Chain A
Amino acid sequence: DIQMTQSPSSLSASVGDRVTITCRASQSINSYLNWYQQKPGKAPKVLIYAASSLQTGVPSRFSGSGSGTDFTLTISTLQPEDFATYYCQQSYSTPKTFGQGTKVEIK
């Protein structure tokens, strides 16, 4: 199985901050990397697919980068509605594993 490791596991930030979350794969996954946002009691929602492509309807303050084993999700200017948990997922091979999540909390 490919292991996905996110860092940090949690962070505190203020509205307007720039936030960066990293995800590392245990082996190369090319650009088969997706990012999801999950709010309490809700299903996850895809933000970024294929490492850097913005899903339709997702604000442009979200961006993704990376390939191979190292990936980044950036929120350029944190908004109140962005406080949530973020997961990366590799879709390169089965089982299509998720990272453990990064919880973004209000500072």
Chain B
Amino acid sequence: QVQLQESGPGLVKPSETLSLTCTVSGGAVSSESYYWTWIRQPPGKGLEWIGEIYHSGSTNYNPSLKSRVSMSEDTSKNQFSLKLSSLTAADTAVYYCARVLLHCGGDCPLLDYWGQGTLVTVSP
């Protein structure tokens, strides 16, 4: 059974950098069959795609966040991570990590497994 679990601080100060880690069990982050992605959701609002990382280390980021985002992976720990810098109150959200299935026999990909999400509040 595939499981993803986000971890990191629940409260971060403005202008600081957020660091979140997603630990994957039941599947390898080094697999060529998947991307790994971060999605966020401000309280009471919709979903925003932050970016994705492939096992080769290649990344795609949302242009709206690109100057502040970086993603990495640690295959030895089966984890991938998100860093978001220069935080403001607008970055307050539930942050989800998810697995992106690349091959499904059609016009893929899709997000087939998600973590439970972690609420990050940006406040002094």
The 8 A CB mask of A77-96 against B (1 = contact, 0 = none) is: 00000000001010110111
**How many whole Å from B4's CB to the nearest CB in chain A?**
9
Query: Chain B residues with Cβ under 8 A from A44's Cβ?
Result: 47, 96, 111, 114
A10, chain B: closest CB distance, angstroms: 13
Residues of B within 8 A of A34 (CB): 110-111
In the complex with contacts A43-B117, A44-B111, A94-B60, A49-B106 CB distance below 8 A: yes
Interface flag for A50 (CB, 8 Å) = yes
Least Cβ–Cβ distance between A92 and chain B, in angstroms:
8
Select B112's contact among A31, A46, A95, beta carbons within 8 Å.
A46
Verify if B90 is at the interface (C-beta below 8 Å from A): no
Quick one: which of B47, B60, B62, B98 contacts A87, CB cutoff 8 A? B47
Q: Which residues of A36-76 are within 8 A (CB) of B?
A: 36, 38, 42-46, 49-51, 53, 55
Give residues 36-88 of B contacting A (CB, 8 Å).
Answer: 37, 46-49, 51-52, 60-64
- Mark B110-123 against chain A: 1 for CB-CB distance below 8 A, else 0: 11101111000000
A43, B114: Cβ atoms closer than 8 Å: yes
Chain B interface (Cβ < 8 Å from any Cβ of A): 37, 46-49, 51-52, 60-64, 96, 98, 104-112, 114-117
Q: Which A residues fall within an 8 A CB radius of B?
A: 1, 30-34, 36, 38, 42-46, 49-51, 53, 55, 87, 89, 91-92, 94-101
